[in-house]
Structure 1
């Protein structure tokens, strides 16, 4: 069975693609100057991961897709681009195998089968980690968590700068989602107002039918920065992460017999996290910030 991307993107690729195109391609210089958030370090600074010997490696073929912006997509010139694409290249450079690296795009639904059939060596495309997949594949350590955030209508009167100030306020969320369950579990004092879909939720927020909304930070950050929001709103408090509700984060999937390559990728990810290169890529594709 083919596993999906995180649920919030699997159901809204067109929505995100439009916002990414507007923000990254039209207004990138403006919002890049405003960026001030940092990607959290997911590797212990005291932990040292050995760099395996890859001298016998013939090539490293990364597989990805083109429908998961801003992680992997085709840019205005038709070239493969995105956070994951740049990260794959940095991993190869860090492992000193750039001349052996290839990145190929396939339909998302074909990635698992292609990896199992040795048509590639690693998948970097936002595949959600599940117990079923762990029985078939290896996964790298997480390199990025996709948090949840609040966004508030700036015309609403909210006390303070934390979620405690939203107690008693109406906060919208898309019903029957992990974000609805997370909101109720984390903030029982908030008045939750469910909506059928994301479009209805954001329209209600813009029109102040609710004072705030709770959803994934990726969608909210690009929406706030886009003309669609009409400068009505701002990200508020957070970020909030939860492996129980939001999964293990972004990882790279490899075959079960590729433990040496998995260890090498973990070494590269840890190094890029510590030396700031992961942060540079993050700011390139998330100019408004997730955290």
Structure 2
């Protein structure tokens, strides 16, 4: 029978002693079984790509500045542990594999949210929201459009579309451009080279990287133009080990309280990039 105020009084002092004993026992059990730490070994294992992506993260060993570097170190500091960076991932998907294999607690490195990745890992809420974009070879685009506005031919595009292997856009491409001939490249530089020499018609990535390219190399405007897909977003978030929902909840809490629920957009990130380039 459950203990109530009435049964305690009915039982006299004996009932009160039983209730007190139960409280003491519960307190003792809590002392013997302290809360499990969110991460083990006093360190936060963070997967980040081997390459650089300014202003999110630099090349390994070239510094500790960047949106993602600040985020990673901030989360570790609030957990009271040391960040341990693993920079061996050669692609974005390889970062995700670090989580599923148990080699990393977090993946922080301009990681896009996709439904496919969401089947195997946990995600934080987004801390950056970009639009998807295209980089088009001007001559090839004019040939394909045949006088029509480019926007009219984009959805039914059936030419050569370049993407980075192991990126979210390699996943998006088949759905967004079902008629395109998808060509996969090892890195962004090789994609840009293919646009420059006309080897592909369009390159598919987020609008930030395309705009950043134009900032770095204004001569690209002679051979290429950028197209922003305003109805397609690319949300950037922290990837979290599927075995640690407590850590996932903590990262969301950190983004809410320490970052004030801030969600960066392309213009803000471009401004930070320009500022860093002048430094």
After TM superposition, the score normalised by the length of structure 2 is 0.51
Give the number of aligned pairs. Answer: 217
Q: Point out where structure 1 has 5 or more consecutive residues left out of the alignment.
A: 1-53
1:215: which partner in 2? 204
1:170 CA displacement: 7.9
Measure, in 2, the Cα distance between the counterparts of 1:87 and 1:146: 18
Measure, in 2, the Cα distance between the counterparts of 1:227 and 1:174: 19
1:142-165 residue CA offsets vs partner (Å, 9 max, x unmatched) = 434565312245677678987226
Measure, in 1, the Cα distance between the counterparts of 2:95 and 2:138: 43
Measure, in 2, the Cα distance between the counterparts of 1:131 and 1:171: 25
2:251 aligned to 247, 265, 276, which one?
A: 265
2:215: which partner in 1? 225
Measure, in 2, the Cα distance between the counterparts of 1:162 and 1:139: 35
Q: Quickly say closer, same or farther: Cα 1:226–1:65, change in 2 above 3 A.
A: same
Measure, in 1, the Cα distance between the counterparts of 2:118 and 2:228: 34
1:24-62 residue CA offsets vs partner (Å, 9 max, x unmatched) = xxxxxxxxxxxxxxxxxxxxxxxxxxxxxx9x8795625
1:63 aligned to 39, 46, 57, which one?
A: 46
Q: Quickly say closer, same or farther: Cα 1:115–1:79, change in 2 above 3 A.
A: farther
1:193 CA displacement: 6.2
Measure, in 1, the Cα distance between the counterparts of 2:98 and 2:154: 46
1:173 CA displacement: 0.8
Task: Determine which structure has more spread, i.e. the larger CA radius of gyration.
Answer: 2
1:262 CA displacement: 1.9
Measure, in 2, the Cα distance between the counterparts of 1:209 and 1:255: 40
Measure, in 2, the Cα distance between the counterparts of 1:168 and 1:131: 24
| Counterpart contact for 1:179–1:215, Cα < 8 Å | no
Q: Point out where structure 2 has 5 or more consecutive residues left out of the alignment.
A: 1-34
SS at match of 1:241: strand
Measure, in 2, the Cα distance between the counterparts of 1:133 and 1:237: 25
1:151 aligned to 135, 142, 145, which one?
A: 135
Q: Which has the higher contact order (CA 8 A, sep 6+)?
A: 1
Measure, in 2, the Cα distance between the counterparts of 1:151 and 1:104: 36
Please give the root-mean-square deviation of Cα atoms over the aligned residues, in Å. 5.1
